[in-house]
Amino acid sequence: MPMLEVFYSGDRPPDRTRKQAFAAEASAIFQRVIGTPPGRLQLIIQIVSPENTLAVIDLDRPDSDTTAEPDQQ
């Protein structure tokens, strides 16, 4: 049974309708490409806060110090 894990980070988490649309499209793609029977794809959507992504690196901010070593920031 194939599994697809998606990590999502954005201003707002996707709503139920958007998740359902994504699941339907992912299922159709898996069915078409590798022959996964309908209802057999396992889908996991993980919501990740922007603070836990590379979005925390904002080089345009004047207070970011890009000259220091990573362990010194």
Q: Domain map of the chain by residue range?
A: 3-72
Q: What band does 15 get if pLDDT is binned at 50, 70 and 90?
A: very high
Q: What are phi and psi of 20, to 5 degrees?
A: -65, -40
Q: From residue 45, how far is each of 13, 19, 41, 53, 54 by CA, in Å?
A: 10, 8, 13, 16, 19
Query: What confidence tens digit (pLDDT) does each residue in 30-46 have?
Result: 999 999 999 999 999 99
To which residue do tokens 């000259």 refer? 67
pLDDT at 65 exceeding the cut of 90: no
Res. 50: pLDDT tops 90: no
Architecture field, domain 3-72? 2-Layer Sandwich (3.30)
Neighbours of 36 (CB within 10 A): 19
Chain-centre distance of CA 72, in angstroms? Answer: 29
Which pLDDT score is estimated for 53? 86
pLDDT class for 70, splitting at 50, 70, 90?
A: low
